């Protein structure tokens, strides 16, 4: 039976073969609330956090994928399914324009650039614009902010909220759920346990600022590069799973480094290598311009051309 993406959330995990009350409780305790969340995970991943045998989990996953009709589909069916993707504004019309209307769900946005180019400023603003009413460019969702560098400031949210009278400041602050990540393992644990919060609080945006900071400081030298990239790969693919399973957007900031082999042109390259590059749906390169102006260049997208947008950083956030 063909099933539209609207029906995905209607399947209870108790409807899956092999899921009794005890297994259902263990799955929910570890953030697997829906059949879709189970279907997009691997047996080893679920087994490691729940303690349920891999063979049992394998059968549950197979049934979940069967009920959700996860397999080959036509381009027309996929186009219909993508109608459920929703977008919200960045707060800058110029930036929205190069992003085909704003930030879309079921996608990972990577913003990289030198310090003071606006990466964290955009992160703060998106936490507010995601909450806006639909008729003014929002999607009425909450935000989760994972901070690895200690740069999050609720006072900045209040400044941005002055620009949006549609939102009650107290309620808006209460709709941003903050967690400080103290090392790469803690950062991974936060994301692994995030599903329950997403379901309970209607999270529609996950921010990770920055994704590479702990990995870069903990894994030093070429001898640790392989281990670092494997852990980084697991982390970003968990974010991708969450975005697909819960129809939400992910915004990550990334650091940069100078490539010593570049003698002409811009030597600035993002860190994280191909692991982050391949997993990110949209990649934005931010750089400074005159005064408080910044330039955002869309350098990678599955469907949009390269383009640039100019925006300003003001007391009210990012504006044209």
Tell me, yes or no, whether 229 and 130 share the same domain.
yes
Tell me, yes or no, whether 294 and 150 share the same domain.
yes
Tell me, yes or no, whether 253 and 215 share the same domain.
yes
Tell me, yes or no, whether 115 and 240 share the same domain.
yes
Report the C-alpha dihedral over residues 187, 190, 192, 193, rounded to 10 degrees. 170
- The total of structural domains in the chain comes to 2
pTM of the model: 0.84
Q: Would you state the pLDDT for residue 251? A: 98
Q: Would you state the pLDDT for residue 6? A: 38
Q: State the 10-residue block means of pLDDT for the chain, 320 residues long.
A: 40 88 89 83 88 92 85 85 91 96 96 93 98 96 96 96 96 97 94 89 95 89 86 92 93 83 68 88 94 94 95 94
Residue pair 236/275 in contact by the 8 Å Cβ criterion:
yes
Domain of residue 53: give its range.
5-67
Q: Is residue 214 part of a domain?
A: yes
Domain boundary among 67, 95, 111: 67
What angle separates helix 21-29 from helix 43-50, to the nearest 10 degrees?
90
Tell me, yes or no, whether 94 and 211 share the same domain.
yes
d(CA 247, CA 36): 11
């Amino acid at each position: 039976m063909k099933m539209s993406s609207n029906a995905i959330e209607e399947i209870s995990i108790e409807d899956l073969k092999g899921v009794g009350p005890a297994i259902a409780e263990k799955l929910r305790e570890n953030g697997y609330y829906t059949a879709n969340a189970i279907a997009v995970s691997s047996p080893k991943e679920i087994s490691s956090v729940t303690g349920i045998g891999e063979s049992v989990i394998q059968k549950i996953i197979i049934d979940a994928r069967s009920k959700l009709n996860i397999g080959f589909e036509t381009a027309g069916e996929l186009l219909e399914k993508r109608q459920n993707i929703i977008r919200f504004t960045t707060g800058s019309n110029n930036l929205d324009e190069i992003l085909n209307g704003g930030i879309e769900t079921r996608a990972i946005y990577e913003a990289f650039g030198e310090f003071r180019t606006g990466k964290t400023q955009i992160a703060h603003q998106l936490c507010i614009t995601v909450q806006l009413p639909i008729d003014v460019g929002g999607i009425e969702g909450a935000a989760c902010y994972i901070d690895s560098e200690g740069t999050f400031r609720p006072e900045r949210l209040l400044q941005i909220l002055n620009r949006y009278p549609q939102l009650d400041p107290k309620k808006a602050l209460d709709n941003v759920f903050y967690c400080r990540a103290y090392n790469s393992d803690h950062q991974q644990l936060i994301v692994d346990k995030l599903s329950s919060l997403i379901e309970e609080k209607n999270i529609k945006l996950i921010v990770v600022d920055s994704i590479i900071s702990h990995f870069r400081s903990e894994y030093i030298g070429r001898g640790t590069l392989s281990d670092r990239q494997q852990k980084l790969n697991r982390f970003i693919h968990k974010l991708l799973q969450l975005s697909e399973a819960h129809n939400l957007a992910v915004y990550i900031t990334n650091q940069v480094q100078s490539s010593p082999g570049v003698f002409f042109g811009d030597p600035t390259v993002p860190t994280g290598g191909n692991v982050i590059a391949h997993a990110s749906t949209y990649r934005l390169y931010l750089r400074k311009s005159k005064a408080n102006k910044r330039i955002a260049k869309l350098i990678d997208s599955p469907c949009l051309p390269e383009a640039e947008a100019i925006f300003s950083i003001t007391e009210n956030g990012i504006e044209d």
